[in-house]
Structure 1
Amino acid sequence: MRTLYLVFISIFVGINAYSQIKISGKITDEQKNPLSGVQIHIGESETISDANGYYQIHSLEKGNYEIHIFLDGFNELIKEINLTQNQTLNFTLSKSVMVLEESVITHIHQKNVNNVETVNQEFLQAEYSGSLAKSLEKIPGIQAMEIGSGTSKPVIRGLGFNRVLVAENGIKQEGQQWGADHGLEVNPWSVEEVKVIKGAGTLEYGSDAISGVIALNNDSKPLPNSFSGDWILFGRIANQAIGSSLNLRHRKENFFYKFSASYTDFADYNIPTDHIVYLTRQIPIFNERLKNTAGNEHSVSAQVGYTSTDFESVLTVSNFYQKIGFFPGAHGIPTLDRVQDDGDRRNVEFPYQNVNHFKVLSESTLRFHPNSLKFSFGFQNNQRQEWSLFHTHYGNSQTLPEIDPDLELDFNLSTFDAQVKYQHQFNRKNKLNIGVQSQSQKNSIKGYNFLLPEFTRFNIASYITNEWEINPKWNVNYGVRFDHTEIEIQPFYDNYLYEFLSQNGNEQADEFAQRSQHLEKSFNNINGSAGILFQPNSNLDFNLNLGSSFRMPTAIELASNGIHHGSFRHEQGNPNLDTEQGWTSDLKISYHPQSWNLELNPYFYYFSNYIFLQPSGIFSPLPHGGQIYKYSQSEAMLTGAELKIEKKFWDRLNAFVSVEYLYNRQITSSNSTDYPLPFSPPMVFFTEWSYELVKNKGFVKSLEISADAKIASKQERIAQNEEITNGYTIFGAGIKSELNFNQFRANILLTADNLTNEKYFNHMSFYRALEIPEMGRNIQLIVRIPFGK
């Protein structure tokens, strides 16, 4: 009997084991490249694909199942299957980000609650206009604040400086963002993807993301057992720029490295005028070239990493250097002698600036399928120097420095970042994110002039967000964040100013000479946001995001006291400033049937204590300082809308149209002082039409021509100390081609901007206050040669 029982049990177990089914297969993208880290859910079982895209799931019963496959950046794949035996099932995922296809940004239906625009490397290279910020201007709501030759700052909905946060691989880019003459210190050719997050969906990023986030990513993994790269050559006529960039990518099974290097040299740039007007005085511009705007920049970065199903680690080291001249009038009133043509278009004389940005970023991820734990660390050293031939406004009281006598200002900022993020996935429709972030900063100063004191700053923050797909039509995202910040500012006493004022009988000499007081402040903030995505069908999306926003006052706002050449005035900080706080609402409606894509994006911002520079009515004690502008706070509001229309005709013709409108103002007790906020862009209409002439004929894989027009209205709503800027219309054109000669490939892009050589002003330009127009006609050539496989 016992033997019979054992036989029965053995047969039952054998039958049961035999009934268990295994599925396996490979996950790839549309180019048949394997995808690692893909999550696969079937029934109560789940797994993740390995470095080669392979997966397998055991112990499944016979029956009907719904398999769910998803990976960040790709459309989720849902498929019904019937299991009767072991099966091999391969799947292909399609990208869910905006891609540049024939010069038009195309929309793919995706479940993203936040207002996010994503562009890839191909878009960035095709739209390159001398700087990264300028390359993003086709995205509605993004503007570039021009600084000069190939340098600009990003502006989102009229808010820039420390109200736009730029992050690289999740770590905030730290420099002197507060200055109008400081650009982004990033190599645009090494950036692989840019996400622009507008409105209230910036909770994870914290302070400085009050208007939005520009998230730069260059952490994609090369394919297993591959080697590839590209070599880029480019040139521009308007400033005789020439440059080159090299990118390399190599990977074995799990280990990989990437390398990028670039160099650009540019000359004084052309402007379509023979004179400018500065403080009612006419200054000649010789040969229509803006003297001393030449310069050069170079960057290098290296990345090494390890990737597998359960663990991933990447280390990135980079250095960016730039030297660029200032037009002589940018540092004091230009004289005829200083603006005379010196016969050398590429030399850089006084005044000029040096910028060096060194970064080390480390990111490691542990996966406990389907959960993960990510550690991010960063170190940055940003050094910015302004060099100007030694001069003193204090008569004979200030002596020539023995070391670096012509170093006017030197800011050396070191920043340490540490972040931990845990992602818990309750199921494929419900994801929880918990994060802790900390940052420590120290800024030192040198130079014979003074603007900003030394300071240290420490921040620690935590946040929790939840992403929940209620059903296929409704998705929500909500969260809360807490920040604690401490800042200590060192005192600075100006002996030279004291002697100068005393000799001139100023009874307040001692008070004015104390340029900076010792200051210790701390700030605490709790903020939250919530978003809803409603998709009634596959052609229609409604995104609504609401949230509170905040920004810690910076050292420049709390304790500056000097002539800021970037703003052409004496700026004075206010140690009594509170945290800038407000509320944000953002609605995005997308309609994209077949070959159409229409997006309407109205928004509204309210600030309870917006920080701005206000004329004080007090004359500056600094020689040639003029009136003092003090940092103050008041209520403010900002509203506007962005419209984007895209259409593809007959598989060859593409149309792109965008319209941007913005209105803002301060809210004070008197309507007479309700001025608009500074650097407010005018209403802008932009359109681009492209047509593919040739497609897959011989060695010409594609040949496309394009034409565009940009119309900006007159900006009469101006802040204090700003000038009215007239409207303008400029035209452009381009030719793009992809060539294949056996194993040799090349992408060629020839573009022309400002074809009519129009004289116009960018209201947000660094040189606008000097009545200096934008660049004249410019022709640009970019040749990209990819290689490897």
Structure 2
Amino acid sequence: MKRSSSRFASPRRVLLAGASLSLLIPAAALAQSETGEAERPEDRDVIIVTSSVLRTTTDEVTGAVEVVDQRHIEDNLAGSLADTIAHEPGVSTTYFGPAASRPVIRGLGADRVMVLVNGTGLIDASTASPDHAVQSEALEAEQIEILRGPAAIAYGGGAIGGVVNVIDGRIPHAPVDGLVDGRIYLGATSVDEGRTAAARARIGAGPFVFTAEVMNRTAEDYDIPGYAESELYRLLEEEEHHDDSRPAVALEEDDHEDEAIGTAENTWLDTQSASVGVSLVQDWGFVGIAYRSSESEYGVPGHAHHDEEDHHDDLLPSFAAAEAEEETVYIDMVQNRWDVRGEVDLPGGVPLDSVRFSLGMADYKHTEIEGGAVGTLFTNEGWEGRVEGRFEPVTLGAGTWEGAVGVQAFRRDFAALGDEAFVPASVTEDQGIFTVQRWDAGDWGLEGGLRLEQRDLSSVAGDRDFSTVSASGSVFFRPVRDQFFAVTLSRSERAPTDVELFADGPHPATSSYEVGDASLDVETALSLEFTARTPVFGGDLEAAVFRAEFDGFIGLFPTGAEIDELPVFEFRAVDATFTGFEARFERELGQLHGWDLSGELMAEYVRGEIDGGGNLPLIPPLSISGGLTASTDRHELHASLEWADVQNETAAFELKTQSHVLANARWTWQPFTERDVRFILEGRNLTDEEIRVHTSVLKDRLPLPGRNFRAAIVYSF
């Protein structure tokens, strides 16, 4: 098929142009700033990045960071956590249906992107397979912090690609303003007859703050604009099953009579969670404990079971399963979790200024139900804890020095039992120690970090242990007011996971037979990143250009063999390179008939290549989006367009993905001055376009939902 026409000659040319723009912008911004025409307001909000060990503000972080607040989450709610933040620069989603999606950052996912709750791991099974849901909901978050690029210094090798940290507020860190406060969210969606309800309350009782929270999300199978299978996939199926003895019309009728049209089958969900917590809040800090229980049932789309009479050839890509007899499959998931968190300001006379700590303990299990019978049981029991100590800032030479040290450890006992237990039971133990130091002289400064980590993996298939060292160094500059530029060089190491080492069995989620390699060694990434935050052309620009060279990148690659009618994929290490950029430009546009106008432009691109030739799979294409907002004291209108280019820089076993344009619009109304009540009316995919996410293994059998309208009410008290 022809590539979509565009004014952009090629993604490679766009990448070069983006890099050049990021390097040229400082000069233009400097000229504007000197005249005072492009300075941002002095009273702008200062946002502390909780995920930063040094508690740095968003304007001062040396890497690329995005902080999403609660109102932004409510306005852009799109089901799962990953789908809700997928519109942020550099972020995409694995999209295995509306229940099971995981964030992808700069083309990296699974164990290379760490999803955290208040700085500790989820202790679920979401990294083991794309059909396993993340145990965190977007509506539970007060704030979501996205660290793009290596964050392995503070969080270990599992953050070699980035971090998504959900700050949920179940353990309060501040007193209640008054006796009680809270929030209620009620919403409904048309495309899936979805219903969502969430409520949170905090009650102050002297120095104690009590919290309670409930959330429920249900949906039926969602509507799609046409076939569930992509056009190219259907053409290959027709070619595979072609029979010259039948007329062409009969061929077409037979080939498509059982295909899903208009509805994405088995995409229903029913999930709920409840939590309680209590904190002691004093002048010296806080300490608290919380308990959360969650249950979820959801259909697994595209879950195919192959019978012995199925025959396949090499026409169809392995990640898009060929014709198969399918049974209804759904997952029944339960997690119970305890969390303890605190932060204590230490008295003078000691080197440390403050200490914060967190501990999470969870019991997780999910059962895959196939045709009414139990198929496979996954369990994960474990704990994770970390302690961070921040030093009192001191004057050192012409600048100020501050630093922090920390320790982190976890233990996870993972098991899979049943017909589709493609990985044996294993125990993973991990311990790490790290430090981050920063020297700031005002106009410029230095930041560096070091982490030492030890991982021990034991399984019936064998035992392995790994020692990793990660380090980073940054130079940052502030040429004039409101400008911040940084160059960061980092070397990050990641130990292999139990799946990568010991997998040996059929994996229906990827329609393949997966084989691990117990001899795999540590994966190393050498990354260089340039970050800019600067006023330019009357607005604010944040941009990053990056390159990461992987030595021993562990991927899943086809062997050409078959076992039980499934193509065999094996984990092996290759050298690979990721190159790309992301940028966001925001500007106030003045007033029109009493409405304040503002605009936003975003662009992102990443290229994943195997050194020596070939492309890595599941890499998102170039995308560009723009939005226009008009607001008054009580109303806000927002319209956006997102264009994604065709992705034809594919791996050998992938089909290309066509380009698309996603059109959204939203109206928010706050009718009362004395009460914080907001009404939200949103339309997504207004043109009812067929949209497929290239980072999803199901993208040729499962498009995104069609035209959807959401109505919601949010009451904060």
TM-score range, shorter chain: 0.7 to 0.9
How has the CA–CA distance of structure 1 residues 584 and 229 changed in structure 2, closer, same or farther, with 3 Å as cutoff? same
- 1:8 matched residue in structure 2: none
Q: Contact 1:750 / 1:780 at 8 angstroms: preserved in 2?
A: yes
Cα distance in 2 for partners of 1:333, 1:705 equals 53
TM-score, with normalisation over the residues of structure 1?
0.75
2:688 to 735, 757, 763: 757
Matches within 5 A, 1:365-444: 365-369=343-347, 371-389=353-371, 406-427=373-394, 429-444=400-415
1:310 to 279, 284, 297: 284
Q: Contact 1:153 / 1:160 at 8 angstroms: preserved in 2?
A: yes
- 1:780 matched residue in structure 2: 710
- 1:5 matched residue in structure 2: none
- 1:682 matched residue in structure 2: 621
- 1:408-430 Cα shifts (integer Å, max 9, x gaps): 11110111123222221142732
Q: Contact 2:228 / 2:261 at 8 angstroms: preserved in 1?
A: no
Q: Secondary structure at the match of 1:216?
A: strand
Cα distance in 2 for partners of 1:351, 1:714 equals 32
Q: Contact 1:539 / 1:593 at 8 angstroms: preserved in 2?
A: no
Q: Secondary structure at the match of 1:146?
A: coil
Cα distance in 2 for partners of 1:617, 1:164 equals 29
- 1:56-99 Cα shifts (integer Å, max 9, x gaps): xxxxxxxxxxxxxxxxxxxxxxxxxxxxxxxxxxxx99631299
Q: Which of structures 1 and 2 has the larger relative contact order (alpha carbons within 8 angstroms, sep 6+)?
A: 2
Cα distance in 1 for partners of 2:306, 2:551 equals 36
- 1:624 matched residue in structure 2: 565
Q: Secondary structure at the match of 1:437?
A: strand
Q: Secondary structure at the match of 2:72?
A: helix
Cα distance in 1 for partners of 2:565, 2:576 equals 32
Matches within 5 A, 1:608-623: 608-620=551-563, 623=564
Aligned-pair CA distance for 1:480: 0.9
Aligned-pair CA distance for 1:116: 1.9
Matches within 5 A, 1:457-496: 457-469=428-440, 471-490=441-460
1:588 to 513, 531, 540: 531
Aligned-pair CA distance for 1:579: 1.3
Matches within 5 A, 1:509-588: 518-588=461-531
- 2:207 matched residue in structure 1: 254
Q: Does 1:355 align with 2:305?
A: no
The residue type paired with residue 359 of structure 1 is R
2:607 to 641, 656, 663: 663
Q: Does 1:747 align with 2:691?
A: no
Q: Contact 2:152 / 2:470 at 8 angstroms: preserved in 1?
A: no
Report the identity percentage.
Answer: 21
Aligned-pair CA distance for 1:168: 1.0
- 2:7 matched residue in structure 1: none
- 1:208 matched residue in structure 2: 158
Residue ranges of structure 2 left out of the alignment (5+ in a row) = 1-41, 50-56, 239-254, 310-325
Q: Secondary structure at the match of 2:646?
A: coil
Cα distance in 1 for partners of 2:446, 2:659 equals 41
How has the CA–CA distance of structure 1 residues 677 and 451 changed in structure 2, closer, same or farther, with 3 Å as cutoff? same
Alignment size in residue pairs: 617
The residue type paired with residue 93 of structure 2 is A
- 2:140 matched residue in structure 1: 190
How has the CA–CA distance of structure 1 residues 229 and 721 changed in structure 2, closer, same or farther, with 3 Å as cutoff? same
- 1:146-197 Cα shifts (integer Å, max 9, x gaps): 1113542101001111110011111122222131212322122121111111
Aligned-pair CA distance for 1:286: 5.4
- 1:620-645 Cα shifts (integer Å, max 9, x gaps): 2xx222x3111000100000011211
Cα distance in 2 for partners of 1:389, 1:110 equals 53
- 1:128 matched residue in structure 2: 77
Q: Does 1:97 align with 2:38?
A: no
Aligned-pair CA distance for 1:703: 0.9
Cα distance in 1 for partners of 2:219, 2:465 equals 44
Q: Secondary structure at the match of 1:147?
A: coil
- 2:580 matched residue in structure 1: 640
- 1:649 matched residue in structure 2: 589
Q: Contact 1:98 / 1:117 at 8 angstroms: preserved in 2?
A: no
How has the CA–CA distance of structure 1 residues 301 and 268 changed in structure 2, closer, same or farther, with 3 Å as cutoff? same
Aligned-pair CA distance for 1:566: 1.5
Q: Does 1:322 align with 2:296?
A: yes
Cα distance in 2 for partners of 1:222, 1:684 equals 43
Q: Contact 2:99 / 2:298 at 8 angstroms: preserved in 1?
A: no
Cα distance in 2 for partners of 1:717, 1:594 equals 34
The residue type paired with residue 362 of structure 2 is Q
CA-based RMSD of the aligned residues comes to 2.5
Q: Contact 1:735 / 1:750 at 8 angstroms: preserved in 2?
A: yes
How has the CA–CA distance of structure 1 residues 359 and 259 changed in structure 2, closer, same or farther, with 3 Å as cutoff? same
Cα distance in 2 for partners of 1:110, 1:292 equals 44
Cα distance in 1 for partners of 2:213, 2:660 equals 38
How has the CA–CA distance of structure 1 residues 320 and 545 changed in structure 2, closer, same or farther, with 3 Å as cutoff? farther
- 1:140 matched residue in structure 2: 89
Cα distance in 2 for partners of 1:447, 1:205 equals 33
Q: Secondary structure at the match of 2:356?
A: strand
Residue ranges of structure 1 left out of the alignment (5+ in a row) = 1-91, 100-107, 336-347, 391-405, 491-517, 669-673, 696-701
The residue type paired with residue 552 of structure 1 is A
Cα distance in 1 for partners of 2:636, 2:308 equals 46
How has the CA–CA distance of structure 1 residues 607 and 352 changed in structure 2, closer, same or farther, with 3 Å as cutoff? same
The residue type paired with residue 280 of structure 1 is E
- 1:61 matched residue in structure 2: none
Q: Does 1:714 align with 2:657?
A: no
Q: Secondary structure at the match of 1:740?
A: coil
The residue type paired with residue 712 of structure 1 is A
Cα distance in 2 for partners of 1:657, 1:333 equals 50
Q: Contact 1:198 / 1:212 at 8 angstroms: preserved in 2?
A: yes
The residue type paired with residue 569 of structure 1 is S
How has the CA–CA distance of structure 1 residues 201 and 328 changed in structure 2, closer, same or farther, with 3 Å as cutoff? closer
- 2:222 matched residue in structure 1: 269
Cα distance in 2 for partners of 1:460, 1:98 equals 27
Q: Secondary structure at the match of 1:556?
A: helix
Q: Contact 1:292 / 1:349 at 8 angstroms: preserved in 2?
A: no
The residue type paired with residue 97 of structure 1 is I
Aligned-pair CA distance for 1:534: 1.0
1:280 to 220, 229, 237: 237
Cα distance in 2 for partners of 1:645, 1:366 equals 38
- 1:703-728 Cα shifts (integer Å, max 9, x gaps): 12121111111100112321111111
Cα distance in 1 for partners of 2:308, 2:95 equals 20
Aligned-pair CA distance for 1:201: 4.4
Q: Contact 2:526 / 2:549 at 8 angstroms: preserved in 1?
A: yes
Aligned-pair CA distance for 1:332: 4.4
Q: Contact 1:560 / 1:571 at 8 angstroms: preserved in 2?
A: yes
Cα distance in 2 for partners of 1:414, 1:155 equals 25
Cα distance in 2 for partners of 1:214, 1:530 equals 22
Q: Contact 1:97 / 1:119 at 8 angstroms: preserved in 2?
A: no
The residue type paired with residue 499 of structure 2 is I
How has the CA–CA distance of structure 1 residues 640 and 306 changed in structure 2, closer, same or farther, with 3 Å as cutoff? same
- 2:20 matched residue in structure 1: none
Q: Contact 2:285 / 2:345 at 8 angstroms: preserved in 1?
A: yes
Aligned-pair CA distance for 1:765: 2.5
